[in-house]
Chains A and B, each alone.
Chain A
Amino acid sequence: MSEATATRVPASPLGTGTAATPARRNWVPYALLLPGLLWLTVFFVLPMITLGSQSLQEGNVDEGFVFTGNVGIYADAFSRYWPHMVRSLSYAGLATVLALLLGYPLAYFIAQKAGRWKNVVLVLVIAPFFTSFLIRTLAWKTILSDNWVVTQWAQQLGITDVLQAVGLTSTDSLLFSPFAVVMGLTYNFLPFMILPLYASLERLDPRLLEAAGDLYATPIQAFRRVTWPLSLPGVVAGTLLTFIPASGDFINARLLGNTQTTMIGSVIDSQFLRVLDYPLAAALSFVLLVVIVTLVALYVRKAGTEELL
């Protein structure tokens, strides 16, 4: 039974195959794995199957649903909601790039420059993460509101004009705009970017940078040839941990956005819980899953990092 549980799942491209200590007693690892993997199988894998099944059913909440194999629901879901899908992926992608740009200097600073302040700064990065992120997102509503300094500075410095020009805002305000949503997403998932980056930058031997300088590399060349390639595992892990949750998130879009910024997660949420159109909601959810898994698989293959786990 335990043997079956551990071997049934298909072979993974992410497997590390690290050699642990030689096998002691054969049943021990399976006994250790069984309860956890069983939990994940019943409450993660099985729901994916019921989700697929739900999407192919027809009916309504009062009379019940029957499986009809209605594949057409996918065409319907796609034609109605592809803009939301594209929007979600673009917002998430933009937020991921921003988080990388913001997170890298901070992670680098903590790992290589902070000295005795290292632990303090690390705590300050982690601690906000423990305060309910809904409350922190509400705080952004205050910060970005029209009568606060942030918006006023942005207007005076012409930043609002730039944002309007690139289409991230449509008025002079910052709040209730794509800009606010992307900023919120960046903010919310930044710690997920910083921690893996920090982990890989901390392992970076500063002597390698000295060696690069000794071998005629300018600081920029040393970064490009040594620091960046050696931090790639952290970059890959960080971008995944930011992009995936950001693409499914709808809290930032609802609290900081407007009706034009609705993300796919929001549609799934309201179709399930308010419209009660389970098949359509399930189909959308399934499509999102497939899109994300495909993107992640392509990305991981391209990045060539097989040490994610």
Chain B
Amino acid sequence: MNGIMNWIRRHLVAFAALVVLAYLLVPNVIVAVFSFNDPEGKFNYNFNRFSTDGWTNPCGTAGICDAVGLSLRIGLTASLVATILGTMIAFALGRYRFRGRSGTNLLIFMPMATPEVVMGSSLLTLFLMMGLPTGPLAILIAHIMFCISFVVVAVKARVATLDPKLEEAAADLGATPFQTFLRVTLPLSAPGIAAGALLAFSLSFDDYIITNFNASPSSITFPMYVWGASARGVPVQVYVIGTVMFLIALTVVMVGQLISNRRNRQVA
């Protein structure tokens, strides 16, 4: 009797977890299925007929590949800069004692506690008042700004788990502070930095709200393209690109997990 109760209870959590996981994944499945649709009208909302047109001709709709290209360029640049700046801050917070620490923490926390629409609109007022043009550069500036905090959090979490004695050991063995950083601290922090960079890229690539405030008519990013299409009619290529992104993300994260698993196994 108790065995049965136990069985039910143990599997209740698993069952609930499975339902929630399905809730998270169903839209991706729909996107993948509809990437093979040959839609009836302009809107790709009902499955009409199987077709691989979208896959064989991913740039088949005007502007879509330009938008993806712009988003990729902005995403890569923004994540690179934000990762460098954020990592530096994370090391300062994780490895040094200094005055102004709590102020720094607050400044890092604030962008995460501010709705995107506020950040986007306030940045627009800055550009307006300074007479600076909106466009790709403004978007890049904005993306770097909101990505820094997330990189700091990701890297700091990793740095906090590192044993300071390892750095002391390196110093004891004659390494200069710079060599210690390069040979010990940086490699050990690499998983956190990689996670931060990945997060920054995906946040940048996916952002619509802030981007829209700082874009110009000539700088259409991929989310802006999708937004526009959602009103005019969604081409099947949008679903193709969505599926490809999902698959790439799945691969990248899986490979990352494999690498860290293997490392852990070697350590253990």
Interface residues of A (CB under 8 A from B): 3, 5-12, 14-17, 19-26, 28-30, 32-33, 35-37, 39-41, 43-48, 50-51, 53-54, 102-103, 105-106, 108-110, 113, 119, 121-143, 145, 147, 187, 190-191, 219, 240-241, 244-245, 247-251, 255, 264-265, 268-269, 272-273, 278, 281-282, 285-286, 288-289, 292-293, 296, 308-309
Q: Are A102 and B20 in contact (CB under 8 A)?
A: yes
Q: Is B197 an interface residue (CB 8 A)?
A: no
| Closest Cβ–Cβ distance, residue B210 to chain A (whole Å) | 10
Q: Are A128 and B106 in contact (CB under 8 A)?
A: no
Q: Is B118 an interface residue (CB 8 A)?
A: yes
Q: Are A244 and B113 in contact (CB under 8 A)?
A: yes
B window 59-114: CB within 8 A of A: 85-86, 88-89, 91-114
Contacts of A127 in B (CB 8 A): 28, 246, 249-250, 253
| Closest Cβ–Cβ distance, residue A215 to chain B (whole Å) | 19
Q: Are B45 and A187 in contact (CB under 8 A)?
A: no
**Given known A-B contacts A138-B234, A269-B212, A32 and B115 have beta carbons under 8 A apart:** no
Q: Are B125 and A245 in contact (CB under 8 A)?
A: no
Having A138-B234, A292-B118, one finds 14 other A-B pairs with CB under 8 Å, namely A12-B102, A14-B105, A21-B164, A29-B97, A36-B85, A37-B107, A44-B110, A128-B27, A143-B30, A190-B23, A244-B112, A248-B117, A265-B115, A285-B122
7 nearest interchain CB pairs?
Answer: A248-B115, A15-B102, A130-B249, A6-B100, A12-B106, A9-B103, A109-B17
- Alpha-carbon distance A270/B153, docked complex (angstroms): 33
Partner of A110, one of B17, B116, B156: B17
Q: Are A39 and B144 in contact (CB under 8 A)?
A: yes
Q: Are B104 and A135 in contact (CB under 8 A)?
A: no
**Given known A-B contacts A29-B96, A33-B92, A139-B34, A309 and B125 have beta carbons under 8 A apart:** no
User: Most chain-B Cβ atoms within 10 A of its Cβ — which of A7, A136, A251?
Assistant: A136
Q: Is B267 an interface residue (CB 8 A)?
A: no
Q: Is B1 an interface residue (CB 8 A)?
A: no
- Alpha-carbon distance A6/B46, docked complex (angstroms): 55
Contacts of A133 in B (CB 8 A): 206
Q: Are A109 and B14 in contact (CB under 8 A)?
A: yes
- Alpha-carbon distance A22/B104, docked complex (angstroms): 18
Q: Is B175 an interface residue (CB 8 A)?
A: no
Contacts of A39 in B (CB 8 A): 85, 144-145, 148
- Alpha-carbon distance A136/B118, docked complex (angstroms): 24
Q: Are B242 and A131 in contact (CB under 8 A)?
A: yes
- Alpha-carbon distance A28/B148, docked complex (angstroms): 19
Q: Are B129 and A54 in contact (CB under 8 A)?
A: yes
Q: Are A132 and B206 in contact (CB under 8 A)?
A: yes
Q: Are B100 and A250 in contact (CB under 8 A)?
A: no
Q: Are B105 and A309 in contact (CB under 8 A)?
A: yes
Q: Is B36 an interface residue (CB 8 A)?
A: no
Q: Is B193 an interface residue (CB 8 A)?
A: no
- Alpha-carbon distance A45/B108, docked complex (angstroms): 11
**Given known A-B contacts A14-B102, A139-B34, A265-B115, A309 and B109 have beta carbons under 8 A apart:** yes
**B165 nearest in chain A by CB position:** A21
Q: Are A187 and B85 in contact (CB under 8 A)?
A: no
